[in-house]
Structure 1
Amino acid sequence: MDPEIDFVTLLGQAGTGKTLLTLAASLTQVLETKRYSEVIITRVTVPVGEDIGFLPGTEEEKMTPWMGALEDNLDVLNKPADTDPAHSGQGQSGGYGGDWGRAATMDLIRSRIKIKSLSFMRGRTFLNKFLIIDEAQNLTPKQMKTLITRAGPGTKVVCLGNIAQIDTPYLTEGSSGLTYVVDRFKGWPHSGHITLQRGERSRLADHAAEVL
């Protein structure tokens, strides 16, 4: 949230809330304080299992299947604070405006989020944007440099990742672009690094992250 910080690396095991916290911070600064004009999200498209092949559609439509975490977290951010009518005092839909109000809010949020493919980043310059690089552990140092150097005046870049979940076959914890930038930006006064320790997804997810 600090406007003096241009670059942030956010690490943590699965379920620690990296995407949720970053989305909340970015949308607050886009929709409320209007420090940035929009949120841009990108990630490398490395499948966990078998590749499903060619995806039809526009750039954003091709990226949509890779952005399940975005959809999940937007649902969390947009859900009513209390869905129990006995406690909310606003009827069965909970909260002012009910379902239509939440739908309108979601439409507004979606209009300020752009999903971009890593493949089309070369030559771009992002002015006054909040750029989120998701699954950054799967990027090479060269890819990371390409993305970060897209940042123009007024742009903040946040890299999210979990070094323990590298899916790119030829990358290791030591050669990952995420490890590289954490080390290279160490000590720069306009950068910050955060490591989240506690899982928030479920006790099953926490235990699996520890023992598997």
Structure 2
Amino acid sequence: MQPMKKQFIVDTNVLLEDPKALLQLRNGAENDVFIPYHVLLELNKFKKDPRLGHIVSRVVALLAEHPDAFRILKAERIAEAFSSHVDNFILDEITASGIEKPILVTNDKLLQLQAASKGIDSEAYKESMPFKSEAEYYTGFTDNGTAPIANSFRWIEGRPVFHGPEGEKVVSYQHKAWGVTPRSVYQNLALELLTHPAIDIVSIQSEAGYGKSFLALAAALHLVLEKKSHQKVYVVKPMYEIGQKLGYLPGKVEEKMEPYTRYISDLIMKLHALRPANRLFTNPDVYPPQFDIKRFELLPLAYIRGMTIENAVVIVDEMQNLSRNETRALLSRMGEGVKCFCLGDTRQIDNPYLSQENNGLNWVVKKFKGSDIYAHLVLKGEKSRGPITDLVIKSGL
């Protein structure tokens, strides 16, 4: 005897949390899936939301790709001016549908209670797969059995194997850059990419505390002051959070940026303590440090226009706050002899006009992935900058 088909009705929050929930619930053709008309209205509303619009686009694309995987419920009446009581209209659609034993799938606990009051069964969607940007989804590793991507890694017998410009090799050695010893295998692989002479642009994605800025600065000092393969270090930071206030701050550009780049100065001083980097400073005994602009310079994004950068290491920090146009304008400034490090976390976006998918870091991964001069890595590990940060990451705060 075949099990009876389940009749699932999907709420908006489920589709936004996991656009593929529709197919998961249908499970081939085992169950029937319905979408209330008011859910479509909610999706239409959210498509203009800068934080949700890209996810709505994925939901709509999946619906268009699988038109036979669901049916739309009819609405006897439409919520006026799209009121805040739209949940009541969704429940009315279910009641009027005549579906036998409908199950409303929603993660909204209040809606679950409302459904129960009308005799409608409900359950939470437990297999939620939160949206991941390309910068998170492509970790820099490829699966065994698939064609390797240029400058990617794979695990073979528990050891990381690098598919680099010289072919495949096991990374069984430990890097050290400007006195910095990697704290994890992922940090070691990051230094493999950051210091490789044939890789011109590297992007690093990670949550806070895994050391991407510290490693990038250590690699930059190694290349400029030790190997002398480059002449100067530039650190470019999008100043979006300052907005127009940047022009009203007193002093020179360095003084205007200082409150927003102090962490860079602190990291440089930490590296200076590990190994003296006197050539970076006009006076190494002054704090905040006064940098010799022949060797090290902090620049806001606005100052890049019109420049041609050559023979330098360029660190672009918090690249997730750059738009696609800003990213193009910045990277097109790079001339001969440039090594560029693009750092960021696509889940920590301050620019309200950008999303996890539509941001500079993610565009770099999407467009450059597979290039011979480009590499990407997602930093992770058991420990970050400290126990509190560890707890934040593990708890999902």
| Alignment TM-score, normalising by the size of structure 1 | 0.82
**Alignment-derived partner of residue 386 in structure 2:** 202
Q: Give the whole-Å Cα distance in 2 for the aligned partners of 1:4 and 1:33.
A: 15
**Alignment-derived partner of residue 358 in structure 2:** 175
Unpaired segments ≥5 residues, structure 2? 1-194, 285-290
Give 1:200 shift.
2.6
Distance 1:204 1:25, change over 3 A: same
Distance 1:125 1:103, change over 3 A: closer
Give 1:203 shift.
1.3
Distance 1:41 1:106, change over 3 A: closer
Do the aligned residues in 2 keep the contact of 1:12 with 1:18 (CA within 8 Å)? yes
**Alignment-derived partner of residue 107 in structure 1:** 281
Output one character per residue of 1:130-165: Cα deviation in whole Å (capped at 9) or x when no partner. 111000010001101111111000011111001111
**Alignment-derived partner of residue 271 in structure 2:** 77
Distance 1:57 1:179, change over 3 A: same
**Alignment-derived partner of residue 29 in structure 1:** 223
Match of 2:281, SS state, is: helix
Higher Rg of the two aligned structures: 2
Q: Give the whole-Å Cα distance in 2 for the aligned partners of 1:156 and 1:52.
A: 28
Distance 1:105 1:155, change over 3 A: closer
Kindly provide the amino acid, as one letter, of the partner of residue 297 in structure 2.
K
Match of 2:204, SS state, is: strand
Give 1:24 shift.
0.4
Do the aligned residues in 1 keep the contact of 2:280 with 2:296 (CA within 8 Å)? no
Give 1:53 shift.
7.7
Give 1:65 shift.
1.7
Q: Give the whole-Å Cα distance in 2 for the aligned partners of 1:57 and 1:143.
A: 26
The within-5 A match list for 1:9-158 is: 9-47=203-241, 54-80=248-274, 104=278, 107=281, 110-111=291-292, 112-158=295-341
Number of corresponding residues = 190
Unpaired segments ≥5 residues, structure 1? 82-101
Q: Give the whole-Å Cα distance in 2 for the aligned partners of 1:149 and 1:52.
A: 24
- What percent of counterpart residues are identical? 36
Do the aligned residues in 2 keep the contact of 1:78 with 1:105 (CA within 8 Å)? no
| Alignment TM-score, normalising by the size of structure 2 | 0.45
Q: Give the whole-Å Cα distance in 2 for the aligned partners of 1:103 and 1:125.
A: 26
Q: Give the whole-Å Cα distance in 1 for the aligned partners of 2:233 and 2:280.
A: 14
**Alignment-derived partner of residue 192 in structure 1:** 375
Q: Which segment is superposed worse, 67-76 or 147-156?
A: 67-76
Give 1:121 shift.
1.2
